[in-house]
Amino acid sequence: MAKHHHHHHHMDPDAGDARVLWAVIVNLGLTVAQIIGGIISGSLAMIADAIHNLSDAMSLIIAFSARKIARRPADGSMTFGYGRAEVVAALINYTTLIVIGFYLIYEAVMRFIEPSGVDGWLVVIIAGIALAVDVVTAALTYSLSKESVNIRAAFLHNVADAMGSVAVIFAGTLIILYDWQIIDPLVTLLIAGYILWMSFGEIGGVIRILMLGSPSGMIAGEVLKTVEAVDGVSGVHHLHLWQMQEHEAALDAHLVIDAGRWSDADAIKQAVKDRLKQDFGVGHTTLELECSKHACVGAVAIG
């Protein structure tokens, strides 16, 4: 998730907001149309696709609110700022999707046991419109998705949606041509499987940030070695690495200064900060300095 540390093409936040808002409006309208269509035509796959679209709209609404909240400056009650609102939003989204995925599987299995008729033409027409909308929404959110885990969750929903619509069109076509009704719950299972696969894949990284895990792709042991290698440092302990939000890694540690070098302590501390920024992109560093005579006894390196 944290593979993209360096990007300098930040979009104007307000332009981004407008895009997200349009994507929400379009998706909500589509969901209503699809659910009505699914009920009239009797297609469970269509309703599965609609629920996916609704989750899309929901994810975009959460994403939209979280983007707004995340820009608020730090204050007395939230001293780290509000940047994690986006990560929390992504967690809510993926959790909801997982629940929906399991529900759809249950419904599809019930359909296998007790099949019901589906109107293929209606399915194809509505899914065709849905596909067009998905493509437009994906285009609206694509450039933003590179910058934020939260918009990326919304963007992935969209891509999954477009695939869902393609699958539904395929199912509707087979029903028109061959009256092959069993394809409807089959496609529902495919859509549900995809929703689950995607959500489980992404939720791990989100949980890791919330659990104060070290940034993915950054190995604590390497960070430790790098700091210890700085001239004047005789040891490091109580090292903590975490992500304040998606693109902001932070570190705090106790730094033991070599005997006789206390007068250079500030320069050594600055050298450590510079090295961390340069090698690992860690911008937020808090270091507690100890002289080697009074260093913590038996302290653990990490933790």
Domains in the chain: boundaries: 13-210, 220-294
Residue 300 falls in which region: left (phi positive, over 0), alpha (psi -120 to 50) or beta? beta
Residue for token digits 């969901």? 31
Does the predicted model carry a pTM greater than 0.85? no
Give the chain's mean pLDDT. Answer: 83
Number of Cβ within 10 Å of residue 73's Cβ equals 7
Q: What is the mean pLDDT of residues 154-180?
A: 83
Q: Which of 231, 226, 236 is nearest to 280 (CA)?
A: 226
What's the CATH fold of domain 220-294? Alpha-Beta Plaits (3.30.70)
Q: Which residues of 130-147 are buried (b: 16+ CB within 10 A; e: fewer)?
A: bbebbeebbebbeebbeb
How much is the pLDDT for 255? Answer: 92
The tens digit of pLDDT for each residue in 106-117 reads: 989 998 888 878
How much is the pLDDT for 111? Answer: 87
Comparing 23-27, 69-73, 208-212, which segment has the lowest mean pLDDT? 23-27
Distance (Å, whole) CA 172 – CA 182: 11
Tell me the sheet residues that pair with 289: 255
DSSP assignments along 136-197, one per residue:
HHHHHHHHHHTT-HHHHHHHHHHHHHHHHHHHHHHHHHHHHHH--TTHHHHHHHHHHHHHHH
The tens digit of pLDDT for each residue in 40-92 reads: 888 888 888 787 777 777 777 877 788 788 888 888 998 888 888 878 888 98
Round the CA-based radius of gyration of the chain to a whole number and report it. Answer: 25
C-alpha distances out from residue 2 to 81, 86, 147, Å? 20, 15, 10
Classify domain 13-210 by CATH architecture: Up-down Bundle (1.20)
The tens digit of pLDDT for each residue in 221-266 reads: 999 999 999 999 999 999 999 888 777 889 999 999 998 888 988 9
More confident residue, 11 or 92: 92
More confident residue, 15 or 228: 228
The tens digit of pLDDT for each residue in 172-207 reads: 899 898 888 888 899 889 888 888 888 898 899 899
